[in-house]
A and B are shown apart, each in its own frame.
Chain A
Amino acid sequence: MEVLTVLVPYILRGLSITLEVTAVALGLGLFFGSILAILRVYGGDLLSRVLTLFVTLLRALPHILLLLIIYFIIARVVNLSAFWAGSLSLAIISSAYQSEIIRGAIQSVPGGQMMAARSIGMNRIKAIWHVIIPQAFRYAIPPWSNEAAIVIKDSSLVYVLGVPEILRQAQYYSARTYQPLTAYVTVAAIYFLLTFITNRGLDLLERHIRIPT
């Protein structure tokens, strides 16, 4: 009985935070990752090099270290809550990985597509938007679902900043009831479900927008 009355509210509260952190990290990561990728492919040599360096640096940092830097150094200056410091750190990291995914996808679109778009008088931005991106995003879905699975689990890192996502909540529960098994198995099951549902959803999306041949 105690499981239902105590564990469930703990977990549910944590779950909503986990979902929020994941949504912010994946959503902003996609937005900035796409911009990074487009600039790296089409932005000219110098810009492309600078951004590649930025991505390389981000990928070289342990994620947790960036969280700590942003929370303990940057958040002091710009006044960010632990939630936002954590979510934004994860978004920045994810944007680096997502930019690699999307860059690869853009480069998989045959060069003739851009040429054909330009030949009918489209400017570069329109051609990217109407011709390149719709095809690139289709290529990006499978590797992107990989990144989504990683970010879902990485959302637990905000725990080090004291943000009460599900893992943190499970720990509180465990400390209070001395039932670590119940707590951690429940959390494991929830991560599994989140990842499973996300990947299934992306799978369906991929099939739904597949170009008929």
Chain B
Amino acid sequence: MPKPEKLIVKIENVHKAYGKEKVLRGISMDINESEVVVLVGPSGTGKSTLLRCINQLTVPDSGKVWVDGVELTNPKTDKDKARQHIGMVFQDFNLFNHLTTLDNIMLGLVHVLGMKKEEAYDKAMLELERVGLANKYGSYPGQLSGGQKQRVAIARSLAMEPIVMLFDEPTSALDPELIGEVLTVMKDLAEGGMTMICVTHEIGFAREVCSRIVFMEHGEIVEQGLPVKMLNNPDMQRTKDFLGKISVLD
């Protein structure tokens, strides 16, 4: 018996423009618990903007967004509180440069969740172990490789016990030989049942791990579906052209 599906993220008719440039033109999407959604599309189609609209780092011009039943687009919602449990991983890592890896993880635990230092320390060490970097607890971001930085960034988000994780091109800034270690961590997460929305061009990851591929172009969803269908025989010619192109790179 599959458990009844629980809606985690609901996006309803979201529009966003920067000046005259319409980046999102009415995006709607439902994401259920434990779903792993991969957003693909040419650059400049609004994938990253859509991710940032989910946790309201970018405020949409119109439309609504719910995460775990809370409407984030409602002005009365405490957005800081909502963001505590929406993890986000960035293309360029954005680790706090002046803090060790351990302190990077502890900062939110102590100053956002109000944990005691000792408790936060234990939790942070646990998260570092989970991404295989417990031995790097005292290193500063500048002393880590790109792959290690991204794993620490993932650990930092996971420590906050997110209900959904947003990945914004998590491997695009990495040297090819470092991509694998980050994808492995993401795969483990997905297998552990984490709800994930990933902007990525890693088609291998999409094929193996994700439950749905969403193809976006010009601020609209062109087509979405199971990876098998989207990669092998999509309905739209545009989807086929684009996925065909990036699959060659894979």
List residues of A whose CB falls within 8 A of some B CB: 110, 112-113, 115-123, 126, 130-131, 134-135, 138, 211-213
Closest CB in chain A relative to B28 CB, distance in Å: 23
Instruction: Assess whether B67 is interfacial by the CB under 8 Å rule.
Output: no
Q: Quick check: A121 and B112 within 8 Å, CB to CB? A: yes
Binding stretch for chain A, among B81-89, B211-219, B224-232? B81-89
Closest CB in chain B relative to A129 CB, distance in Å: 9
Closest CB in chain A relative to B93 CB, distance in Å: 8
Apart from A120-B160, A121-B85, what are 8 other A-B pairs with CB-CB below 8 Å? Answer: A116-B88, A119-B86, A120-B83, A120-B156, A121-B84, A121-B108, A122-B80, A131-B96
Q: Quick check: A121 and B160 within 8 Å, CB to CB? A: yes
Instruction: Assess whether B66 is interfacial by the CB under 8 Å rule.
Output: no
Give the 7 A-B CB pairs with smallest separation, nearest first: A121-B84, A213-B142, A116-B94, A112-B94, A120-B108, A119-B88, A121-B83
Closest CB in chain B relative to A132 CB, distance in Å: 10
Q: Quick check: A118 and B83 within 8 Å, CB to CB? A: yes
Q: Quick check: A211 and B83 within 8 Å, CB to CB? A: no
Q: Quick check: A211 and B140 within 8 Å, CB to CB? A: yes
A118–B81 alpha-carbon span in the complex (Å): 10
A126–B80 alpha-carbon span in the complex (Å): 11
Instruction: Assess whether B171 is interfacial by the CB under 8 Å rule.
Output: no
Map CB proximity to A onto B80-115 as digits: 1 under 8 Å, 0 otherwise: 111111111010111111100000000110011000
Q: 18 A–B contact pairs at CB < 8 A? A: A110-B94, A112-B94, A113-B94, A113-B96, A115-B94, A116-B88, A117-B96, A118-B83, A119-B55, A119-B87, A120-B107, A120-B156, A121-B80, A121-B112, A122-B111, A123-B80, A130-B111, A211-B142
Q: Quick check: A119 and B57 within 8 Å, CB to CB? A: yes
List residues of B whose CB falls within 8 A of some A CB: 55, 57, 80-88, 90, 92-98, 107-108, 111-112, 140, 142-143, 153, 156-157, 160
Which chain A positions have C-beta within 8 A of B142?
211-213
Which chain A positions have C-beta within 8 A of B94?
110, 112-113, 115-116
Identify the closest chain B residue to A131 (Cβ): B96
Which chain A positions have C-beta within 8 A of B93?
112
Q: Quick check: B81 and A211 within 8 Å, CB to CB? A: no
Identify the closest chain A residue to B160 (Cβ): A120
Identify the closest chain B residue to A209 (Cβ): B98
Q: Quick check: B98 and A122 within 8 Å, CB to CB? A: no
Central interface residue in B111, B112, B143, by most chain A CB within 10 Å: B111
Q: Quick check: B97 and A113 within 8 Å, CB to CB? A: yes
Which chain A positions have C-beta within 8 A of B80?
118, 121-123
